[in-house]
Structure 1
């Protein structure tokens, strides 16, 4: 597979197996929260920049899909566990279910759907990101 180029990435996807209300205790729909997500060390980290669109993907069998949207809130950094990035995300009142995205002819090809066990960060192309945004309306 070819390396991603900046134009390939319209939105970064950070994944969690823990429900959003566990990731940020007390997080409510419509509320923005800033927190850090762990990343896998790769060339992709050099493509991430503050202000870039980002979304939170809940993996697993319970309510998988897009649960929050926002942006990268700072530079990729390091903590004791490795690379991390701060994100500022707003919790959605109604998540965009994985099943809805699988039914979309464009979104169904998103990396997060093709490789659900892949590591952070994943990404959406411009067309895939537009499909997700269309599901929010």
Structure 2
């Protein structure tokens, strides 16, 4: 599988050539909010907000890909979709935090520099997280 990259100047993700339309759309949606501020509860109740928490960010990106119709908190995301890693999109969630990996790139509010991007190439431990993926063939 080709890997997405982070543009060092903008902090935005670049989808790999040949990625499924949902992956391209998820990355584009993530780019829209990649540098917005963090706010606990941000992005819930409505996808449009001025700041996002972890689950609000993941929900926004999944919604942008047409994979989610309502915002979910991290506990709900730990039960969403199907168990296990996806081919292109994998959600890691527990009762206190969630992040996703899309085309090998992490979208996460944790570890980002202040006013930095949510897109990160650096891996993080998935210990204590439930691993889920969209219930869409090939994703």
TM-score, normalisation: structure 2: 0.31
Q: Greater share of helix residues, 1 or 2? A: 1
Structure number with higher relative contact order (C-alpha < 8 Å, ≥ 6 residues apart): 1
Q: Greater share of strand residues, 1 or 2? A: 1
Q: Which has the larger radius of gyration?
A: 1
TM-score, normalisation: structure 1: 0.31
